[in-house]
């Protein structure tokens, strides 16, 4: 039996150099620095090579096939991918479901699903949001009615990322229609999107991408072994996910590419473009403040600290600075920026702009983040 290397024993500079060298060679060069989310089919060969290398799951424990990285090395891994220009990948199985199954899943569920996540045999999407239940997720209404063999699902999910390129979904459904509190009576299920009664309908976005979907459930039969955790306790399972992703949701990796391109655009302006340079400097100050705060939170996490509600500040700053940067990019590129099929900086500016629009909504709106900070961090009445 081969003993996996102890990556945590490596000096951080050596670890970073190792990751950088391999990923630079393995990741498709034509997909570096793209502003959109990259689909699983586009990076299938990259995922296969990362799996063969044993690096597909940096945060997973070694016993489940992961690298077993501590927080410091996880952050270093993510920062190196961002520096190389690896864009957003569809990794919900690796980043979200895997850690939840390790914590709440049965031994049979772990044995069935974790190896298939590692090998990329399964592609998972997240079925949370519904019409009328987005930021207020606990208001979800998709029903799961118990039967002798399991549950029957009826209802709709919306804004489901990459459902049309996934074969499975982890989801929340209401198993008690009359709970004392709306966060109660919700359960966490695993479903196959090929099951009878499930219809996936892609949504074309403003940026002309097919990234999100509607998913309809009509009398969908779910067996008992697809319930994760306790019945009616799905909210507890879903909340546990926050502990796995808080720091990375507010990562600067998606802002960095846009800001670097904006800087190149400003440097190419004539010397008398004083107003544009002043706007760029103001943005740079806010951008550097954000990077400094992220570095402080990263150092805290590296030392074993557990980020709480204050991580909402990172999400808030990351998304709003991203929008401000892309607005300035589009302003500088003027009308040419809307030509989405041109191979120009203007077309990239338009792509960044369109991608930035939902960033203050996805993952919790800016209003929700401000409310969390006000109540949980500042202790203000909300």
Burial of 47 (0-12, 13-18, 19+ CB in 10 A): buried
Q: Is 155 helix (H, G, I), strand (E, B) or coil?
A: strand
pLDDT tens for the 382 residues of the chain, in order = 456 689 999 999 999 999 999 999 999 999 988 777 788 889 989 998 998 899 999 989 999 999 999 888 988 998 899 888 888 788 889 988 999 999 999 999 999 999 999 988 899 999 999 998 877 788 999 999 999 999 999 999 999 999 999 999 999 999 999 999 999 999 999 999 999 999 999 998 777 778 899 999 999 999 999 999 999 999 999 887 765 566 666 777 778 888 988 998 899 888 888 999 999 999 999 999 999 988 888 888 777 777 777 888 888 898 899 999 999 998 888 643 444 444 456 667 777 777 777 777 777 778 888 888 888 888 888 6
Q: How far is CA 293 from CA 190, 279, 300, 303, 313, in A?
A: 37, 22, 11, 16, 9
Q: Which helix (H) or strand (E) holds 217?
A: strand 210-223
> Looking at the domain covering 124-234, what would its CATH class be?
mainly beta
Beta-ladder partners of 127: 171
Domain 250-377 in this protein, CATH class: mainly alpha
Using CA of residue 170, residue 71, residue 104, residue 63, what is the dihedral sign? positive
Q: Active site residue: 245, 264, 267, 320, which one? A: 245
- DSSP code for 93: I
- Catalytic status, residue 327: no
DSSP state at residue 228: E
Question: Which residues have C-beta within 8 Å of that of residue 1, sequence separation ≥ 6?
Answer: none
DSSP β-bridge partners for residue 156: 216
Hey, where are the domains in the chain?
Answer: 9-89, 124-234, 250-377
Pairing of strands 124-127, 168-174: parallel
At residue 225's C-alpha, the angle toward residues 40 and 104, to 5°, is 70
Residue 142 DSSP SS3? coil
Q: What is the pTM of this model?
A: 0.80
- The reply to whether 250-377 shares the fold of 124-234 is no
- The closest of 239, 250, 7 to 103, measured between CA atoms, is 239
Contact in structure between 259 and 281 (CB atoms under 8 Å): no
């Amino acid at each position: 039996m081969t003993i996996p290397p102890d990556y945590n024993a490596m000096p951080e500079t050596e670890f970073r150099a190792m990751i950088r060298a391999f990923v630079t060679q393995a990741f498709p060069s034509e997909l570096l620095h793209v502003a959109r989310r990259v689909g699983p089919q586009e990076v299938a060969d990259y995922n296969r090579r990362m799996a063969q290398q044993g690096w597909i799951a940096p945060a997973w424990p070694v016993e489940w096939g992961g690298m077993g990285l501590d927080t410091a090395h996880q952050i270093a891994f993510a920062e190196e991918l961002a520096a190389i220009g690896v864009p957003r990948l569809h990794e919900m199985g690796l980043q979200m479901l895997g850690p939840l199954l390790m914590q709440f899943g049965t031994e049979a569920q772990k044995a069935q699903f974790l190896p298939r996540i590692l090998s990329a045999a399964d592609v998972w999407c997240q079925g949370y949001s519904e019409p009328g239940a987005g930021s207020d997720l606990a208001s979800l209404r998709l029903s799961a009615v118990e039967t002798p063999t399991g549950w029957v699902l009826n209802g709709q999910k919306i804004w489901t990322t990459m459902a049309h390129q996934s074969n499975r979904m982890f989801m929340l459904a209401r198993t008690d229609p009359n709970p004392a509190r709306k966060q109660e009576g919700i359960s966490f299920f695993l479903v196959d999107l090929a099951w009878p009664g499930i219809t996936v309908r892609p949504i074309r976005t403003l940026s002309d991408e097919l990234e999100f979907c509607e998913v309809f459930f009509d009398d969908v039969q779910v067996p008992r072994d697809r319930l994760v955790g306790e019945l009616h306790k799905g909210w507890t399972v879903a909340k546990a996910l926050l502990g796995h992703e808080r720091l990375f949701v507010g990562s600067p990796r998606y802002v960095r590419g846009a800001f670097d391109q904006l800087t190149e655009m400003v440097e190419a302006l004539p010397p008398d473009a004083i107003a544009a340079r002043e706007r760029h400097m103001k943005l740079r100050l806010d951008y550097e403040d954000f990077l400094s705060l992220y570095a402080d939170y990263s150092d805290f996490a590296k030392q074993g600290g557990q980020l709480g509600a204050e991580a909402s500040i990172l999400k808030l700053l990351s998304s709003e600075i991203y929008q401000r940067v892309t607005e300035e990019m589009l302003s500088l590129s003027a009308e040419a920026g809307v030509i989405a099929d041109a191979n120009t900086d203007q077309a990239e500016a338009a792509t960044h702009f369109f991608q930035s629009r939902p960033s203050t909504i996805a993952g919790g709106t800016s209003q929700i983040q401000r409310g969390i900070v006000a109540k949980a961090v500042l202790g203000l009445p909300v």
